[in-house]
Amino acid sequence: MQPRLSAIALATVAAFGLVACGKEEPPKPAAKAEAPAAPPPPPTMTVNIGHVAPLTGGIAHLGKDNENGARLAIEQANAAKISIDGKEVKFVLIAEDDQADPKVGATVAQKLVDAKVAGVVGHLNSGTSIPASPIYNQAGIPVISGSATNPKLTEQGFKQQFRVVGRDDQQGPAVAIYLAGTAKPKTVAVIDDATAYGAGLADEVEKTLKAAGVKVLAREKGTDKTTDWKAVLTKVKGRNPDAIFYGGMDATGGPLLKQGRELGIKAVFAFGDGACTDEMRKLAGEKAAEGLICSQAGIPAQASSKKFLDAYKAKYNVDPILYAPFTYDATNLLIEAMKKANSADPAKYLPELQKIHFNGATGPIAFDEKGDRKDAEITIFTMKGDKLEPTAIMKGGKTIAYNDFLQMLATAVSAAGDAAKAPVDSAAQAGRDAAKAAVEAGKAATGTPK
């Protein structure tokens, strides 16, 4: 029985084994596919751009206006996620206050050099721009001023110095010619604030008036801090001028005009761009300011592109005062040159800046061999009621009525826009050609010789 039972047991185990071998295992769940790894973020780089203007003191409002223009350009560039040399760039504005003081201007210039900025927008004043310029030149850092007008700034032979406004030897003759042609004075008193800007502009006005046969009295001077002009004005009143020109800023020009009217001076008062602001009405009083004539080394802020004006108003909830459109353009010029060179290295992008053709908020921009803006306009304003109103554009020694100029500018912008589908160089040339044609049309419209 024992062998028989063992055989039966073995058969039973074998049967169970066969059943087990035939059993189907449930399918294992498929392994989840791994998501592809996210691409690494693009490499980034930080590019510092300096801005210098007086942010404290009597003309801090103009300094802040300039800074606002530069800061708006920086923020728009960052929003556009610009890439240079394969890296996404974060632009940073380093704003410095030079207090409109030449010594402070030189100090902050060195500070920006030490911070290794890639470029500088500024300074606001000629008196600070000129002493700062050798410091930037030695460091090889490109600098574009949106408001400094003294000719010496770009006459020093510094290849990295530029400006996007006209010079005093353009502005001075423009306001002098307009003053002589409209007020027709026989005798003019000239006063300045003894700064590089104020005295330099006054020199140009005096030279042009004398060439036009107008008698110019001996020069009177104050300072950029003078607010009590009674002694100077009493002396001037005794000589009975038909017009008075002041070279200086609005912080000192306003009190000059106010006190002149209080002393009973009936002469026409004229000023350069430093005092060509709505602030003059506040400082001098609305009645005293009525009828003043002033010039600006560029187009009026309100004639800038709508895109810029809308963006400025949206960000700051005010309109630009004077030169914010120009510092906006200056900042964009630095960035555009970097893009063209594919480098933020000043030595590499400077050649692109020197030959650039750029359609900015203030119109087409190109530089001559000195770094001055080619074909810069000068605007003449008159205070009427509660605001300054542009009356004429002076360009190439010719006078164009302001409304006519606006129409020409619109035509030039439209022509440049139509050329946008063409290669960049062709579009830029089309814009320049249109602008040139517009100016020539203006000369014909106003009866001036070509």
* Contact yes or no for 201/258 (Cβ under 8 A): no
CA 214 to chain centre: 35
Instruction: Tell me the pLDDT of the chain (450 aa) as tens digits.
Output: 444 444 444 444 444 443 444 444 555 555 555 666 677 776 889 999 999 999 999 999 999 999 999 999 999 999 999 999 999 999 999 999 999 999 999 999 999 999 999 999 999 999 999 999 999 999 999 999 999 999 999 999 999 999 999 999 999 999 999 999 999 999 999 999 999 999 999 999 999 999 999 999 999 999 999 999 999 999 999 999 999 999 999 999 999 999 999 999 999 999 999 999 989 999 999 999 999 999 999 999 999 999 999 999 999 999 999 999 999 999 999 999 999 999 999 999 999 999 999 999 999 999 999 999 999 999 999 999 888 999 999 887 788 999 898 888 777 666 655 554 444 343 344 444 444 444 443 333 333 322
Give the Cα separation of 108 and 95 in Å (integer). 10
Residue 395: predicted pLDDT: 83
* Contact yes or no for 292/270 (Cβ under 8 A): yes
The CATH number of 169-296 is which of 3.40.1390.10, 3.40.50.2300, 3.40.50.720, 3.40.50.261? 3.40.50.2300
* Contact yes or no for 401/416 (Cβ under 8 A): no
How many other β-carbons are positioned within 10 Å of the β-carbon of residue 221? 16
Residue 385: predicted pLDDT: 84
Beta strands per DSSP E along 183-306: 187-192, 215-216, 220-221, 243-247, 268-271, 293-296
Residue 23: predicted pLDDT: 46
Taking the alpha carbons of 112, 116, 120, 126 in that order, is the dihedral positive or negative? positive
Residue 389: predicted pLDDT: 94
Q: For residue 401, what is the enclosing H or E element? A: strand 398-401
Give the Cα separation of 422 and 402 in Å (integer). 31
Q: Write b or e for each residue in 146-168: b if 16 or more Cβ atoms lie within 10 A of its Cβ, otherwise e.
A: bbbbbbebbeeebebbbbbbbbb
Residue 439: predicted pLDDT: 40
- The single-letter DSSP state of residue 242 is S
Residue 430: predicted pLDDT: 42
Nearest Cα neighbor of 169 from 370, 446, 406, 356 is 370
**End-to-end Cα, the chain, rounded Å:** 137
Q: For residue 359, what is the enclosing H or E element? A: strand 358-360
Residue 179: predicted pLDDT: 95
Residue 433: predicted pLDDT: 46
Can you state the angle between helices 196-211 and 126-139, rounded to 10 degrees? 120
The architecture (CATH level 2) of 44-165+301-365 comes to: 3-Layer(aba) Sandwich (3.40)
Task: Quote the pTM value.
Answer: 0.79
CA 15 to chain centre: 96
Q: Any idea what the Cα angle at residue 134 is, between residues 132 and 140, rounded to 5°?
A: 110
Q: Any idea what the Cα angle at residue 125 is, between residues 121 and 127, rounded to 5°?
A: 120
* Contact yes or no for 188/168 (Cβ under 8 A): no
Paired sense of beta strands 187-192 and 220-221, if any? parallel
Give, in order, the Cα–Cα distances in Å from 438 to each of 301, 354, 383. 20, 25, 27
Give the Cα separation of 125 and 236 in Å (integer). 27
Nearest Cα neighbor of 151 from 200, 103, 198 is 200
